[in-house]
Amino acid sequence: MTFTANIVFFFTFLIAIIVPITSQPCNSYRFSKNIKYAACEDLSVLESSLHWNYRPSSGVVDVAFNKANAKDSSWVAWAINPSSKGMVGSQSFVAVHKNGTIKAYTSPITSYATMLQEGNLSFSVYSLSTSYTNGGIIIFATFQLPPNKTVVNHAWQEGLVSEDGTLKAHSFSRSNLQSYGTIDFISGKVSKSNEDVNSRTMLRNVHGILNTVSWGIMMPIGVMMGRYLKVVDGLGSTWFHLHRACQSLAFLIGIVGFGTGLYIGNHSGVHHAPHRCVGITLMCLASAQVLVAVCLRPKKDHKYRIFWNIFHYIVGYATIALAIWNILKGFDILNVRNVWKNSYVGIIISLATIAVILEVITWIWICNKKRVKNSQDHVVIGEQQA
């Protein structure tokens, strides 16, 4: 056998050994204390598997939910919903791993705003424990299935734990959105949900794009038009029409983006309170700005015009600041690739740089105009005195 043949044989031998170890299918997993389960299934996402024993005579189920490669300071959960397909009504088993300690508890999900608080489930739970082994979290549970219920909807999820011990919301990546389906404890059949996840993902992306373009890009550009074009000689009222057109278009697109956000929240049942509250605040500020500008805007020589200007500036700049913060928060919620968030940050930095340059040029322009005007006035006064 040649040297090359020996090398090929050696690597083939390594692959034959390593692949089965790294793939670790559910039926090859060995639990501690020689616990054995009659059925198992590798779940489709989140590197998870489910193992169970079902006792038809009593309707009792022994379950082991295994989440591989769990992150430090994280939580995992597996739940069944015996009554419906939605999130509300799910009965969950939760494991929380933080600072080297791990605990398990039950949590009934009674609302979409759940924080997975500890509580009793709608059926009897006879035992519950958890372990952290080789970077994986395993939840062991024995519970009583509801009468005449062997096919149930189930879901599994993972998330991070904050420094104060509260559970953070799970990611909105494609894997996290696909982590649910149905399970038949008798036949052992585990199937994915038939709901179209792609449509929900697309709707979230549309929501993000519309709000980024309208609130996060067009609004600042409209403000820059209103501030820097009006000092240019010869434009007349053109600057005002450009400013109003840009802001009006951004507001209309923002309404559509706001509507899609409300639709997503109401139908997915997942609410991010800060992001949602800031979004509602933005819509209220922008609506007030439009209403006051259309109905209550005094003329330039009116004595109350200064108060309208103060309101207009404060509301406008507050809207821009809140919009930028909320868009960055939205990127974090969507868990998009950093290239999109970095691209938007780059756009904002570019607009801010342009604004600083234009601010300097504008002040130089105004100061020169005042100096020329003062010189002309002195000449005219001198001629009149002469």
302 marked as part of a ligand binding site: no
The residue ranges of DSSP E strands in the chain, in sequence order, are: 39-42, 48-55, 60-67, 74-81, 91-98, 101-108, 125-133, 136-144, 151-160, 180-184, 190-192
51: annotated binding-site residue?
no
Q: What three-state secondary structure class fits 171?
A: coil
Residue matched to tokens 């424990």: 129
Q: Collect contacts of 224-228 with beta carbons under 8 A, ≥24 apart.
A: 224/351, 224/354, 224/355, 224/358, 227/358, 227/362, 228/355, 228/358, 228/359, 228/362
**Coil, strand, or helix at residue 157?**
strand
- CA-CA distance, 127 to 147, in Å (whole number)? 19
Both tokens of 322, joined, read 């809140």
Residue 275 among known ligand-binding residues: yes
> What dihedral do alpha carbons 177, 178, 180, 182 form, nearest 10°?
150
CA distances (Å), 147 to each of 64, 82, 133, 306, in order? 21, 10, 34, 72
Comparing CA positions, the residue from 23, 17, 62 lying closest to residue 39 is 62
Our CA angle for 297, 363, 344, nearest 5°, is: 75
- The CA-based diameter of the chain, rounded to the nearest angstrom, is 119
CA distances (Å), origin 113, targets 146, 275, 281: 25, 14, 20
CA dist., res. 356 & res. 267, Å (int) = 43
The answer to whether 207 is annotated as binding is yes
**Residues of each annotated binding site:** 207, 243, 275, 312
**Residues of each annotated binding site for heme b:** 207, 243, 275, 312
